[in-house]
Amino acid sequence: MASVKGYGACLREHALQFPRPSCNDSYKRQRTKRTVGWRSPQAAILPNLHLPMRSLEVKNRTIADDIKSLRLVTAIKTPYLPDGRFDLEAYDALVNRQIENGADGVIVGGTTGEGQLMSWDEHIMLIGHTVNCFGGSIKVIGNTGSNSTREAIHASEQGFAVGMHAALHINPYYGKTSIEGLISHFNCVLSMGPTIIYNVPGRTGQDIPPYVIQTVAESANLAGVKECVGNDRVEQYTKQGIVIWSGNDDQCHDARWNHGATGVISVTSNLVPGLMRELMFEGKNPSLNAKLLPLMDWLFCEPNPIGLNTALAQLGVVRPVFRLPYVPLPKAKREEFVKLVEQIGREHFVGVKDVQVLDDDDFILVSRY
């Protein structure tokens, strides 16, 4: 594999070499100052390094049409070390398993990835890390949404600068805005690059009505919508030619094959990526869907990502570390998960260790990170 020079080394290698001054230089400089106008030295020419770009420069590695064809996008989990920092070794293994099992893309730092518990520095670092390690094999969609338009613009600018292929944007939550405010907010972030709009009223407290989506769909940068309202809304959009990903794992089979959805942005695919790919790519399969529904119900018995974090720890693929306010599911639910794995088949789940029921004392809860 070709070696890559560090940025500092490149700067030293290409810096201009100026001659040492001689003893007569002082007199020459004084004489020159009187007779010749000063000119600056020729600027050092640096190699064509990949440096961060501003929002108005050409920086998108994809166009919206490249995102519209994705069928299985995993909202990837962010694992932690015992002190609460990112466990990048475990994270890389999770992303690799998605690639090996045919996922088309990953959402980095979404709700499932606990972007809401990250600083923006952590957030952009993880997006950049994912792009650098896996961007040639899978589409990287960074969750750079915010209830502040200013923050959403700035985060998206940084995300595209480090190479993400598309942005995921939610509507402003808590400090909700008007219909016209939603349109203005989305138009601002859509100007940054390929974008998926995320509608999840259960979390934001506000539905994004069809009028808003139909209005902003005039932008060439709208890749589509992650829709959690239900399959009637999915079909309403798909009949109008708007690309939709189901945001509900338990509805994604019918959304894909009966209501025109392109695919799913999935939590369950963190656990069984191969089966979720089969569900999205290989035609109607009500028996497989029925087989997975108990697992999906279990995952969402408490707010996501509590169930997923618990499950991945029990499978031995991440450390049992939780950033508060998330805490593991109670032991009865942990025992239920072991039975679900046995019913579906351990070979379909990520990891190679035997699934186990963890004790309460096995979990680490981190409040400061």
Give the pLDDT confidence of 178-226 residue by residue, as tens digits.
999 999 999 999 999 999 999 999 999 999 999 999 999 999 999 999 9
What b-and-e string marks burial along 291-318, b requiring 16 or more CB atoms within 10 Å of the CB? bbeebbebbbebebbbbbbbbbbbbbbb
Read off the pLDDT of each residue in 30-36 and give the average, rounded to a whole number.
Answer: 47
| Gyration radius of the chain over CA positions | 25
**Is the pLDDT score of 17 beyond 70?**
no
Provide the token pair at 132: 């650098």
**How confident is the model over 276-296, as a mean pLDDT?**
98
End-to-end CA distance of the chain: 36
- CATH number given to 64-284: 3.20.20.70
Quick check: helix, strand or coil at residue 80?
strand
DSSP string, 225-251: EEE-S-HHHHHHHHTTT--EEES-GGG
**How many Cα atoms sit within 13 Å of 245 on the Cβ side?**
32
**Dist. CA 277–CA 179, nearest whole Å:** 36
Which 8-state DSSP code applies to residue 305?
Answer: T
Per-residue pLDDT, 112: 98
Question: Over the chain, what is the mean pLDDT?
Answer: 89
Residue 27 pLDDT > 50: no
The CA-atom distances, in angstroms, between 206 and each of 4, 172, 176 are 48, 9, 7
Q: How far apart, in whole angstroms, are the C-alpha atoms of residue 288 and residue 307?
A: 21
Confidence of residue 269 (pLDDT cuts 50, 70, 90): very high
For residue 52, cis peptide bond before it (omega within 30 degrees of 0): no
pLDDT at residue number 2: 38
| Residue 120 or 9, more confident | 120
Active site (catalytic) residues: 198, 226
- For 42-92, the pLDDT digits (tens) are 444 334 334 444 444 444 468 999 999 999 999 999 999 999 999 999 999
Q: What is the pTM of this model?
A: 0.84
Count helices and strands (H / E) in the chain. 15, 10
Residue 125, class by beta-carbon neighbours within 10 Å (0-12 exposed, 13-18 middle, 19+ buried)? middle
